[in-house]
Amino acid sequence: MTDFGLTKREASFLRRMRPAWRIQSFLDSIAYDVEGDGCRSPRRVLRERKAQCMDGAIFAAAALRLQGHPPLLVDLEGVWDTDHVLAVFREARGWGAVARSNFSGLRFREPIHRTIRDLVGSYFESYFNLRRQKTLRRYSAPVSLARFDRRGWMIAEEDLWYIPEHLVGVRHRPLLTPVQAKRLGPVDRRMFEAGLVGRATLRRRSRRRR
* Each residue's pLDDT tens digit, 155-186: 999 999 999 999 999 999 999 999 999 999 99
Look at residue 142 and tell me if it is in a domain: yes
Between the alpha carbon of residue 15 and those of residues 63, 64, 177, the distances in Å are 6, 8, 41
- Tell me the mean pLDDT in the region 24-52: 95
In this structure, are residues 97 and 84 in contact, taking their beta carbons and an 8 Å threshold?
no
Does 40 have pLDDT greater than 50? yes
What is the domain extent for residue 108? 8-195
Q: What is the pLDDT of residue 84?
A: 97
Of 48, 24, 42, 206, give the one whose Cα is nearest residue 104.
Answer: 24
* Banded pLDDT at 23 (limits 50, 70, 90): very high
User: Is the distance from CB of 91 to CB of 49 less than 8 angstroms?
Assistant: no
Q: What is the pLDDT of residues 186-206, one digit of tens each?
A: 999 999 999 999 888 655 444
Residue 34 predicted with pLDDT over 70: yes
Whether the pLDDT of residue 208 is over 70: the answer is no
- Domains of the chain: total: 1
In a domain, 209, yes or no: no
Average pLDDT value for residue range 17-32? 97
Task: Confirm whether 202 is domain-assigned.
Answer: no
* Confidence check: pLDDT of 109 > 70: yes
The amino acid that residue 22 corresponds to is R
> Is 0.85 topped by the overall pTM?
yes
What pLDDT score was predicted for residue 176? 97
- Residue 203 located in a structural domain: no
144 occurs within a structural domain: yes
Compute CA 15 distance to the chain's CA centroid, rounded to the nearest angstrom: 19
Q: How far apart are the first and last CA of the chain?
A: 34
In a domain, 151, yes or no: yes
**Distance of CA 124 to CAs 118, 119, 138, 153, 181, Å?**
10, 10, 10, 30, 12
48-96, pLDDT tens digit by residue? 999 999 999 999 999 999 999 999 999 999 999 999 999 999 998 899 9
Give domain status of residue 98, yes or no: yes
Residue 208 inside a domain? The answer is: no
Residues 167, 125: Cα–Cα separation, whole Å: 23
